[in-house]
Structure 1
């Protein structure tokens, strides 16, 4: 087999758009792994390493269909949850496998009751009802309570499904707690601005305009 590294990397770039942060990605063909991108949940696979019998990659190659499973094996030394997809590369059958921490095997739907944020060298749990808004800035996530910024490692994408109903996505970079909105105005370009009770102004993007108007009823 002759697969170019750049060709295989394209699969991981596509997957990064939707898989949880920290997931690892592997591609297997024939009897071995031909590509591996380690995430936070690193199974320490090596390119060229042989596929273990009944591993997720082995099951996908045998069945030729999407397969997901929670597996334990001696090779990885840790239980893992994975989703595997049959693909073809240069006409050869292959398996693309996403490895995730075990808790992803059961969907988490309960809303957050608090967020733990970092300030300098301290971490503070903040009740969710005290959070006025959440911001993504320079690939970091910040939330604000009583005008104080707190840093969290959770992305907006992962936060949004577990926030209470009072939180509304208004922009690619902002989620706001409706309970802290003071007023909604227009800027000089007639775009909507949300002004919070503490004076903070947050823009509403065009892509979220319909959702904001529908949720707030104006």
Structure 2
């Protein structure tokens, strides 16, 4: 965008933000994206890593709104955020161009909406079984489905890892895009031949720890 268009877009963005502030919590964050990049960002109290001109990430709320031109809401993982947050996206127009307005609600709002799970109901074949949450060793996302494990038994649940991350007790730690682990079932942690961390569980299962989540594990276990 040239300076004139950029100034115009900023003015329009400010108008949208002023309207939004009348009905969302004061410490919410706002972002506006046009042409697959962000042109406006206002941070609330969340630790959000986002800059003007940054490209819209595939799969994000902004990307979904720009692609579908429909309202979208989702729980956000830590690709842009240190902890999950609930966000909403709205299709708007800036200088006659399709744009996305994204609102990220404060973590206090999200926590009020999401009491911790006491149990999960899992499916095995054609049976559903409620399982106490502290019996679950780890949870896995595989082939667009979510599975949890109890003494090496596998159960399927319809709840996604992003949703679970918001509603699991604090002793469950996200260690990978595909794994959440119960720290009470961790036997040891070590580096493999490629210097990546591997978590070994009491039952012998080995789970990878990705670089983007290693700080979660270090912080929880203080090593």
TM-score normalised by the chain length of structure 1: 0.57
1:42-72, CA deviations, whole angstroms, 9 ceiling, x for partnerless residues?
Answer: xxxxxxxxxxxxxxxxxxxxxxxxxxxxxxx
Alignment pair present for 1:136 and 2:141: yes
Gaps (5+ residues) in structure 1?
1-9, 28-33, 40-82, 99-103
Match of 1:88 in 2: 93
1:22-42, CA deviations, whole angstroms, 9 ceiling, x for partnerless residues?
Answer: xx97x9xxxxxx966899xxx
Match of 2:155 in 1: 150
**2:71, 2:90 within 8 Å by CA — same for their partners in 1?**
no
Distance 1:201 1:94 in 2: 43
Gaps (5+ residues) in structure 2?
1-35, 37-55, 74-87, 104-108
Distance 2:218 2:102 in 1: 40
Task: Determine which of 169, 182, 185 is the counterpart of 1:177.
Answer: 182
Give the 5 Å matches for 1:62-211. Answer: 85=90, 87-88=92-93, 91=96, 107-211=112-216
Distance 2:214 2:114 in 1: 26
Distance 2:57 2:195 in 1: 35
Alpha carbons of 1:18 and 1:135: their partners in 2 closer, same or farther (altered >3 Å)? farther
TM-score normalised by the chain length of structure 2: 0.56
Alpha carbons of 1:122 and 1:207: their partners in 2 closer, same or farther (altered >3 Å)? same
1:65-116, CA deviations, whole angstroms, 9 ceiling, x for partnerless residues?
Answer: xxxxxxxxxxxxxxxxxx6746216617999899xxxxx9995221000001
Q: 3-state SS of the aligned residue for 1:135? A: strand
Match of 1:213 in 2: 218
Match of 1:17 in 2: 60
Alpha carbons of 1:175 and 1:38: their partners in 2 closer, same or farther (altered >3 Å)? closer
Match of 2:22 in 1: none
Q: Detail structure 1 runs of 4+ shifted over 6 Å in the superposition.
A: 92-98
Alpha carbons of 1:38 and 1:114: their partners in 2 closer, same or farther (altered >3 Å)? same
